[in-house]
């Protein structure tokens, strides 16, 4: 029940039928019985209380959903197979190892260098840091692997150099006056940001990194390039047109909706990139804020060559490690990693005809229902063509 708003003007004397005519007069509640006015006031108070209750429950529901997302996320990293994939990723491991070894001599020269490894997992990066010259490494791991991380540290690093903290990064407590020289973390997910682990790293940075301290990685860039990939479209969509001589074309719309609802994590063909890469995000890890990750947008402009076709976009990222010369790249032209590339395939491709220029935007924002996912939306225009809006769930 939504009560009428209170008004204070007096109720005028109206001839019969006058209420049927438009009238701007403020009728209000004056002139009604005190009992009736009290009842309306009570309803207003009850309604306001109910609205506050709904708002509180909505907030609690969001917090409960995020807590559940976090629990599932941490449980997944308690399984060994995901760590096996990462440890077998040679470009990933070597990029971190070379970067840490590059900075090691400066750490030894300075002496008493302390490091926080956020999301330490098996302890690989912690051991690299301890061996390179860090005097103290705080390995932060919230999953059940913390138990094994302690054993691995004891077996591979100088005694007492690694301390394992079995807590979430946000709950890490090193003491009010404690500061560290370096924060290292392998927080990157598909499309760089998936899993939304970076805010945890930033929470540690904001509380414990010394002024002028080092972040590893120090800068990350997210790239996007227009893609033509007929092989994927043939294999995943057109396949359904005829299966063993049976017409299954009725399933093509379902296959298209299913395959194009979410991005595909795969190795895209280098020769399928029909335009140069466009940088859509550049993060300086020393200054980046959590708000930078909630939503961002980038302009797009590229050409589809004559006879070409835009099937969608391929994305990848690369990372710097301070002054270290070696970078980590997940580009199609680089050695494959477990991240591969993230491809966004349109439900209906855009034909290039005699060649067209496409302009528009890509918007990236935290997923409305899954706190560790994202929604990616492309809004594109081309001369003489209808506008194209394509949205994908990264979850």
C-alpha–C-alpha distance, residues 285 and 338, integer Å: 22
CB atoms within 10 A of CB 125: 25
For 392, the token pair is 């994908």
According to DSSP, residue 237 is labeled: T
Distances (CA, A) of 28 to 8, 43, 47, 342, 368: 6, 16, 19, 60, 41
Decide: 145 and 116 in contact? Cβ < 8 Å.
no
Query: Which of 365, 369, 317, 375 is closest to 190 using CA atoms?
Result: 317
For 3, the token pair is 């009560």
C-alpha–C-alpha distance, residues 343 and 334, integer Å: 16
CB atoms within 10 A of CB 108: 13
For 191, the token pair is 């499309």
Contacts of 215 (CB under 8 A, 6+ apart): 182, 183, 205, 209, 285, 286, 322
Decide: 264 and 342 in contact? Cβ < 8 Å.
yes
DSSP character string of 283-344: EETTT--THHHHEEEEEEEEEEPTT-EEEEEEEEEEEE-TT-S--EE--TTSPP-TT-EEEE
C-alpha–C-alpha distance, residues 108 and 112, integer Å: 8
Decide: 124 and 156 in contact? Cβ < 8 Å.
no
* Residues designated as active site: 186, 195
For 311, the token pair is 């099937």
């Amino acid at each position: 029940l939504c009560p009428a708003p209170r008004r204070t003007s007096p109720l005028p004397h109206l001839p019969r039928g006058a209420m049927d005519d438009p009238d701007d007069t403020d009728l209000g509640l004056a002139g009604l019985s005190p009992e009736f006015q009290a009842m309306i006031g009570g309803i207003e108070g009850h309604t306001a209380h109910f609205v506050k209750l709904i708002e509180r429950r909505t907030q609690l529901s969001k917090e409960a959903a995020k807590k559940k997302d976090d629990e599932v996320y941490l449980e997944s990293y308690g399984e060994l197979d995901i760590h096996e994939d990462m440890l077998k990723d040679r470009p990933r491991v070597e990029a971190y190892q070379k970067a840490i070894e590059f900075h090691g001599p400066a750490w030894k020269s300075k002496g008493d260098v302390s490091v926080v490894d956020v999301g330490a997992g098996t302890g690989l990066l912690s051991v690299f840091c301890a061996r390179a010259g860090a005097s103290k490494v705080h390995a932060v791991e919230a999953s059940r692997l913390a138990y094994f991380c302690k054993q691995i540290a004891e077996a591979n690093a100088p005694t007492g150099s690694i301390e394992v903290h079995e807590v979430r990064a946000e709950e890490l407590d090193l003491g009010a006056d404690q500061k560290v020289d370096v924060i290292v973390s392998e927080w990157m997910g598909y499309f760089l940001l998936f899993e939304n682990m970076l805010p945890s790293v930033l929470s540690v940075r904001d509380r414990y990194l010394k002024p002028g301290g080092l972040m590893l990685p120090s800068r990350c860039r997210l790239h996007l390039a227009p893609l033509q990939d007929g092989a994927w479209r043939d294999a995943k969509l057109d396949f359904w047109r005829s299966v063993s001589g049976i017409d299954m074309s009725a399933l093509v719309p379902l296959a298209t909706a299913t395959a194009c609802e979410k991005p595909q994590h795969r190795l895209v063909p280098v020769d399928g990139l029909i335009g140069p890469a466009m940088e859509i995000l550049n993060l300086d890890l020393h200054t980046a804020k959590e708000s930078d990750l909630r939503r961002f947008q980038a302009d797009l402009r590229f050409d589809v060559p004559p006879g070409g076709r835009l099937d969608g976009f391929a994305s990848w990222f690369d990372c710097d490690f301070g002054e270290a010369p070696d970078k980590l790249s997940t580009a199609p032209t680089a050695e494959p990693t477990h991240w591969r590339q993230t491809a966004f395939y349109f439900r209906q491709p855009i034909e290039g005809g005699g060649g067209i220029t496409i302009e528009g935007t890509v918007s990236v924002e935290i997923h409305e229902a899954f706190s560790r996912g994202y929604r990616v939306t492309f809004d594109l225009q081309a001369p003489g063509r209808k506008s194209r809006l394509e949205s994908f769930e990264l979850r």
